Amino acid sequence: MLKGAIFGGLTGLVLAGAAHAQPVVYTWTGYGVNVLGSSKCPTYKMTIDVTVDGDSVKGRFQQEGRPERGFETTLGKNGAIKTAAVVGGGNMMDVIGQIKEGDSNIQLYGYCNFEGKLTKK
C-alpha cells in the first residue's frame, strides 16, 4: 500500500511537471532610429532576445560590435514589460514592450531608439 502511495505521488509530480509551460524565446534584429539628433543611429544594428518563463522576463541585447547587455523584469498587466538596462559608461536605456500571443514588441530607448515586433525563435 505504501508503494502505491509513493508511486501515485511520483506520477502526479511527473504529470504536473509536464504541464508546466516551457520558456518562450523571442527575437528582433534591426536598426536604430535617430534620437537627440544623432545621425549614426540608422547605421547601428541591434539584436534583442527575450526569454519569458512564467512571469519572469530576461532579455539580452547586443549592438553589432559592442558588448552584450541584459535586463530582467516581470510581466505586468496584459503582458507589459518596463524596466531599464545599463549600457556603456553607466548610461541607461529604457526597455518597454509587450509580450502577448500574436502581438509582442520591444523598444530600447536611450542614445538611439530600437523598436520592433518580436518573433518566436
Domain annotation covers residue 18: no
**pLDDT tens digits along 40-69:** 999 999 999 999 999 999 999 999 999 999
Identify whether 5 is part of a domain. Answer: no
Torsion angle of C-alpha atoms 73, 58, 118, 102, degrees rounded to 10? -70
pTM recorded for the entire structure:
0.80
Total domains, the chain = 1
Is 76 contained in some domain? yes
Query: Is residue 15 a part of any domain in this protein?
Result: no
Give tens-digit pLDDT for 4-21: 555 555 445 444 454 567
Q: Is residue 27 part of a domain?
A: yes
In a domain, 112, yes or no: yes
In the chain the first and final C-alpha atoms are separated, in Å, by 47
User: How far is Cα of residue 26 from the mean position of the Cα atoms in its chain?
Assistant: 7
Instruction: Say if 7 falls within a structural domain.
Output: no
| Alpha carbons 4 and 1: distance in angstroms, whole number | 5
Q: Which domain holds residue 90?
A: 23-120
